[in-house]
């Protein structure tokens, strides 16, 4: 599961790579995307990105990046910036030149002696250290701002559902844990099984690369809402301050190597489970969160 998720993220990251096939020639341009089909870039043709899912890519011209998921990449006398193959074969023939790196995940490399890879060949998925949030401050700030902004957006767009999910997170913890298991264990397991079929590959990539991260993001928002409400002891119908505070506390906990990051992931999973419980478990969309009791006579 970690490999499939990380490879999907890596594929999305390659979408942002500039066309760097050759700095001396005219810049490449264009985007070629094909799902359950083949793509051919002929000699003299060029593209910024070639992305193929459940199919083969044949490149004889130039491309900034070539990404093939569930198929083969055949580079014949091509000049390519970066190459990634997931569950397939990378064939480098003729005078092919890969200016950057080659990523192979559940894939093999067939490189002829006349072909050149000027970067590195990465097999499998690199292990990202637990300490990256501390070591990369700009990245940490960027991720934190995205998480906080998304959490506030969810709190604004669905306040009643968020209130119900936040209450269920602590009021019905076993149910939230059960739904979290369905979302983050059973669901990805089924997606991985579908991944190894031609028909199910696109759906599994969407499930692992889009649905699962969105569920985790929504769960983070729910956990932030509940934590912030508990700290502030507030039951305001507009808990934007509580959500922001909860985000800050969760992000601060995530700076603790291993334990803190696992705790944030667990809180996000339980939050997503609580949200799913309010939708699929028959719980009402409106719930009352615990607030400090007022003194009698006031």
* Closest listed residue to residue 73, CA positions, set 42, 46, 109: 109
Structure-token pair, residue 258: 């291993």
Nearest alpha-carbon partner for 52 in 20, 94, 83:
83
Residue 294, Cβ neighbours under 10 Å: how many?
7
Beta bridge partners of 117: 98
**pLDDT tens string 178-206:** 998 888 888 888 888 887 776 777 788 78
pLDDT of residue 152: 86
Q: pLDDT at residue 3 above 80?
A: no
Helices (H) and strands (E) in the chain, counts: 10, 11
Q: Which of 153, 170, 162, 261 is nearest to 219 (CA)?
A: 162
pLDDT band at residue 40 under the 50/70/90 scheme: very high
In angstroms, rounded to a whole number, what is the distance separating the alpha carbons of residues 117 and 123? Answer: 14
Q: Are 140 and 131 in contact (CB under 8 A)?
A: no
Q: What is d(CA 137, CA 224) in angstroms, rounded to the nearest whole number?
A: 21
Residues 200, 193: Cα–Cα separation, whole Å: 8
Q: Which residues, listed in sequence order, are joined to residue 67 by a DSSP beta bridge?
A: 51, 84
User: Quick one: tokens of 209?
Assistant: 């690369």
Considering only 40-44, 128-132, 151-155, 260-264, which range has the smallest mean pLDDT? Answer: 128-132
pLDDT digit string (tens) for 99-139?
Answer: 999 999 889 999 999 999 999 998 875 544 444 454 455 66
What is the rounded CA–CA span in Å between residue 170 and residue 133? Answer: 28
Q: Model confidence over 214-264: pLDDT tens digits?
A: 888 889 999 998 888 888 887 666 778 888 888 888 888 877 777 887 888
Higher pLDDT: 30 or 66? It is 66
pLDDT confidence tier of residue 141, bands split at 50, 70 and 90: confident
| Mean pLDDT of all residues belonging to the chain | 78
Cα–Cα distance measured from residue 175 to residue 275, given in angstroms and rounded to the nearest whole number: 10
Give me the mean pLDDT over the 162-186 stretch. 87
26: pLDDT strictly greater than 50: no
- How much of the chain, in percent, has pLDDT values that exceed 90? 22
Structure tokens at 12: 């999305």
The answer on pLDDT for 10 being more than 60 is no
């Amino acid at each position: 599961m970690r490999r499939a998720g990380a490879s999907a993220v890596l594929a999305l990251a390659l979408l942002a790579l500039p066309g760097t096939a050759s700095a001396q020639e005219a810049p490449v341009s264009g985007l070629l995307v094909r799902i359950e089909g083949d793509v051919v870039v002929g000699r003299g043709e060029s593209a910024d990105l070639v992305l193929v899912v459940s199919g083969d890519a044949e490149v004889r011209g130039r491309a900034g990046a070539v990404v093939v998921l569930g198929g083969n990449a055949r580079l014949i006398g091509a000049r390519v910036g970066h190459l990634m193959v997931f569950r397939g074969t990378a064939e480098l023939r003729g005078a092919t030149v890969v200016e950057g790196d080659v990523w192979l995940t559940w894939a093999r490399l067939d490189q002829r002696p006349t072909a050149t890879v000027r970067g590195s060949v990465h097999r499998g998925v690199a292990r990202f250290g637990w300490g990256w949030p501390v070591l990369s401050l700009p990245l940490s700030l960027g991720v934190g701002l995205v998480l906080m902004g998304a959490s506030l957006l969810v709190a604004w767009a669905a306040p009643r559902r968020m209130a119900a999910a936040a209450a269920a997170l602590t009021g019905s913890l076993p149910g939230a844990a059960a739904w979290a298991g369905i979302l983050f264990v059973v669901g990805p397991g089924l997606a991985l099984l579908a991944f190894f079929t031609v028909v199910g590959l696109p759906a599994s990539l969407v499930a692992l690369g889009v649905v699962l991260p969105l569920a985790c993001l929504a769960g983070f928002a729910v956990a932030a809402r509940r934590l912030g409400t508990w700290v502030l002891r507030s039951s305001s119908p507009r808990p934007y301050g509580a959500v922001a505070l909860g985000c800050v506390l969760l992000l601060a906990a995530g700076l603790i190597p291993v334990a803190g990051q696992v705790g944030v992931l667990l809180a996000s999973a339980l939050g997503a489970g609580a949200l799913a419980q309010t939708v699929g478990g028959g719980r009402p969309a409106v719930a009352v969160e615990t607030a400090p009791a007022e003194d009698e006579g006031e």
